[in-house]
């Protein structure tokens, strides 16, 4: 899978904002009512990650979950990460 350039990533993120490019990754912080709801989201994300065999870095801080995506094989952000970002957005509920 091709690594996308910074301008390509920025252009793609403008449309589906909420995600920001940070170095060779994209990330978004999702906020929930409490820790349990945050963890339920994490579990939905985990199930999806297994299905597509693409696994985000996940940081949980009580009611906030930060997902950080990159494609290690490509050494940066690829289409795979942008597709995963949209799926994660849909799992937010
Ligand atoms: N997840 C992430 N975030 N980046 C990868 O490059 C990656 C992955 N590679 N999950 C996948 C697994 C690869 O090892 C398998 C073979 O698809």
Residue nearest atom 15 of ligand 1, based on CA coordinates: 53
Q: Which atom of ligand 1 is nearest to the CA of 70?
A: 3
Residue nearest atom 8 of ligand 1, based on CA coordinates: 54
pLDDT per residue, tens digit, the chain (93 aa), is: 899 999 999 888 876 569 999 999 999 999 999 999 999 999 999 999 999 999 999 999 999 999 999 999 999 999 999 999 999 999 997
Does residue 1 fall inside a structural domain?
no
The pLDDT of residue 93 is: 76
Strand residues in 1-93 grouped as ranges (E)? 20-22, 25-31, 57-61, 64-69
The pLDDT of residue 16 is: 56
Ligand 1 pocket, 51 CB below 6 A?
A: no
- Per the structure, the complete domain to which residue 69 belongs is given by 6-91
The pLDDT of residue 75 is: 96
Residue nearest atom 10 of ligand 1, based on CA coordinates: 54
The pLDDT of residue 42 is: 98
CATH number at residue 49: 3.30.1360.20
- The answer to whether 9 touches 2, Cβ cutoff 8 Å, is no
The pLDDT of residue 15 is: 66
Does residue 86 fall inside a structural domain?
yes
Main-chain phi, psi angles of 85, to 5 degrees: -60, -40
Number of domains making up the chain: 1
Q: Residue 77: which region, alpha, beta or left (left: phi > 0; alpha: psi -120 to 50)?
A: beta
């Amino acid at each position: 899978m091709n690594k996308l350039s910074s301008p390509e990533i920025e252009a793609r993120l403008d449309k589906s904002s909420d995600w920001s490019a940070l170095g060779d990754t994209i990330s978004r912080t999702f906020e929930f009512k409490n820790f349990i709801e945050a963890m339920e989201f994490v579990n939905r994300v985990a199930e999806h990650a297994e299905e597509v065999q693409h696994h985000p870095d996940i940081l949980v801080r009580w009611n906030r979950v930060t997902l950080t995506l990159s494609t290690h094989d490509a050494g940066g952000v690829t289409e795979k990460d942008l597709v995963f970002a949209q799926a994660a957005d849909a799992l937010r509920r």
